[in-house]
Structure 1
Amino acid sequence: MNSPTRKVPSGASELGDGIVVGAGPVTVDAYEDFLCPFCRLFEQTAAPLLDELVDAGAISLVRHPMAFLDELSTTRYSTRAAAASACAADQGRFAAYARALFAEQPPEGGPGLGDDQLIELGRRAAGLDEEGFGACVRSGAYLDWAGYVTALAVERGVSATPTVFVAGSPVPANPETIRLAVRASLR
């Protein structure tokens, strides 16, 4: 499914289906949708642990921004937010922007944030610039990438968000379970 001509953002995983944060020996894959309220809760509860494990050099965190919930938005918000996060990755600001997207998560059933709002959020919360980031969002440079990420996740068996794998094995998406699975993988 990944072709040599597929545009993938900076910091992408080997398959191009996620953004890698950190370089530790244990891979933690987190499949999320920026419109998913449970993903927002996961971000709020698990981010401190994941940051700690990345900073300690224990994990490589691969975040897969999916477009599962497009039908719960009138403007394909999940796809557009995932694409905007890829634009942020190109400027080395993926993590900060992803956090901001969850912090400013719109309700399901509406349009979500418009492109101008996505750009302003990036400027305000992640220090992203209008020239590079704004142009990337407005051009829709990574709209196809969001679909690719989602398709590969479905092939892997991901059927809900958030879904977490530690060293290739699925684990419940909660900090303590993730901590225990990482610890076991490091032995």
Structure 2
Amino acid sequence: MVVVFGGSAVIGAHVRSTKDDKVSAPSGAVAAAQPNDPEPGASPTATPKGPKLDIPVAPSVPVTVTVFEDLRSPDSKAFQEEYADTIRQLLASGQVRFQYRLVTASDAQYGGKGSSVAANAAACAQDQGRFSAFVKEVWKAQPADPKDDALASVSLMKKLAHKAGKIKAGTFEPCVEQRDHEGWVLASQKDYAAARVGAVPVVQINGVTVKDMTSLTPASLKSKIAAEAKHVAAIEATPTDTPTQG
């Protein structure tokens, strides 16, 4: 279906101008989970603060797992392939939600802009509640050689949106073409680089980074999440002193 936009108001809304500097977060984006203190297993604050750079894919629950991923990175793709079933099981458990932080370090590493274009497109899909479905198609389309910048193609992003289904082209395509969320993508990468949490994929459990990703397995991830859920429950069950009225 071809959608033709008419009128200066609609066209003007998608003028590129200063979009690299403007941080336009996609619909539903949230601030990162933050630990109360630097101790391992610390629980997140009740009201996370900071830029809304994470995309949640489940309701609020005791444990938040944040996954930093680069849509052009073979390692990020391999992580998703290995942990896809585990993530589905964890989401179904009702104990955990997953938040995804899109970063673009591979563009600097290999040249080009495929990661940035794909991340912006994923944010455009998130505006319509189709982040997970769209990113699944991006993984399928990721070139075997990360030096191949095929993901920089706006035309490819449109095709992937069609494959993902239930994404309105009339809204998605101008968002991708005019890079509506480019400022948000840049802010996410800048924040990731400043945090120095290591190369993707990076996993955080309630704001605490898993230190050795090479030894992480689906089973150990489940174990860590179960331990954190128990830790949160213990904190919530601890009585707090309340002032008495004289």
Normalization by structure 2: what TM-score?
Answer: 0.70
Unaligned runs of 5+ in 1: none
Whether 1:183 aligns to 2:226 is yes
Farther-moved stretch of structure 1 (169-178 vs 30-39): 169-178
Whether 1:66 aligns to 2:106 is no
Query: 1:8-157 alignment to 2 at 5 Å?
Result: 8-14=25-31, 15-23=51-59, 24-106=61-143, 107-113=145-151, 114-157=153-196
Query: Which entry has the higher C-alpha Rg, 1 or 2?
Result: 2
Farther-moved stretch of structure 1 (25-34 vs 53-62): 53-62
Amino acid of the structure 1 residue aligned with 2:208: S
TM superposition outliers: structure 1 runs of 4+ over 3 Å: 72-75
Task: Show CA shifts across 1:72-104 (max 9, x none).
Answer: 555311111111110010000001111111121
Looking at structure 2, the residues matched to 115 and 74 of structure 1 have their Cα atoms a distance apart, in angstroms, of 17
**Aligned sequence identity (%):** 26
Q: CA RMSD in A?
A: 1.6
Residues 42, 174 of structure 1: 8 Å contact kept: no
Residues 23, 187 of structure 2: 8 Å contact kept: no
Unaligned runs of 5+ in 2: 1-21, 32-50, 231-246
Looking at structure 1, the residues matched to 72 and 176 of structure 2 have their Cα atoms a distance apart, in angstroms, of 17
Looking at structure 2, the residues matched to 150 and 159 of structure 1 have their Cα atoms a distance apart, in angstroms, of 13
Looking at structure 2, the residues matched to 21 and 62 of structure 1 have their Cα atoms a distance apart, in angstroms, of 6
Looking at structure 2, the residues matched to 103 and 111 of structure 1 have their Cα atoms a distance apart, in angstroms, of 15
Name the CA shift for 1:174/1:128 in 2 (closer, same or farther; >3 Å): farther
Looking at structure 2, the residues matched to 170 and 138 of structure 1 have their Cα atoms a distance apart, in angstroms, of 35
